[in-house]
Amino acid sequence: MSAVVSAAGCLAANDWICGEYVRSRAQELTDATVQHVWITVVSVLIGLAVAFPLALLVRARPRLAGPVLGLTTVLYAIPSLAMFSLLLPLFGLSAALVVTGLVLYSLTILVRNILAGLAAVPQEAREAARGMGYGPGRLLWEVELPLALPAVMAGVRMATVSTVALTTVGALVDYGGLGTLITTGLKSFFKAQVLTASVLCVLLAVAADLLLLALQRLLTPWTRPARTPGARIRGAG
């Protein structure tokens, strides 16, 4: 009985760590986490869909590199409050407002990493593919992109972790996932809510990075360090 009273007492005492808060607000925490994940995933996928043709355009027309990279850098430098305010007349107070802002922020990372990955493809690989009759499209999809994948995936990982953090700013328009809980908790100084939502946000970023790292290793097995026969023998011993 005393344990139950103590658990409930952490809410009354407004403790930072409170198991009763997690238990009683489990659905609220779940809904906020699902919204956070949904906004992050949609924003990164749309960012990739926009960044990829932009990177190909820059590679095909190098004179556009300065304007495109400069524009994406300027967009990333705009404070989130100003960004959302500029987009507000177009999207109103909606999830589309948050997603659009996050997509624009992701472009500077994604475009640069896609370009870096394509630039790192050995010229010998391109020449060998052309010698085998590969056209531009087949060369891109079957040779260049697979070899550029490590750099591209590194960019996706950075963009995803950045988007997880920036999604919290969506609380300004009530579409911030866990950020909404953090903001409302700060306004009422609800310690358990602030700490729990913040910890979940950090865990989301770490989990996303680890999942994407595992996917990167799965898609690029040639980048894994090869184990020598000697190492296998020592491991068996």
Q: What is the pLDDT of residues 65-75, one digit of tens each?
A: 899 999 999 98
Q: For the chain, list the domains and their CATH numbers.
A: 27-220 (1.10.3720.10)
pLDDT band for position 2 (50/70/90)? very low
Whether the per-residue pLDDT at 222 is higher than 80: the answer is no
**pLDDT, tens digit, for every residue of 17-60?**
888 888 988 899 999 999 999 999 999 999 999 999 999 999 98
* Residue 237 confidence (pLDDT) above 50: no
Residue 234 predicted with pLDDT over 90: no
The two tokens of residue 100 are 């659009």
Handedness of CA 152, 158, 163, 169 (dihedral sign): negative
Q: Measuring CA to CA, how many Å separate 62 from each of 51, 94, 96, 209?
A: 16, 37, 32, 32
pTM: 0.85
Closest CA to 159 of 20, 11, 47: 47
Q: Please tell me the total number of residues recorded for the chain in this structure.
A: 237
CA atoms within 13 A on the CB side of 176: 22
Q: How many CB atoms lie within 10 A of CB 185?
A: 18
Q: What is the 3-state secondary structure (H, E, C) of 195-218?
A: HHHHHHHHHHHHHHHHHHHHHHHH
Q: What's the pLDDT score for residue 3? A: 47
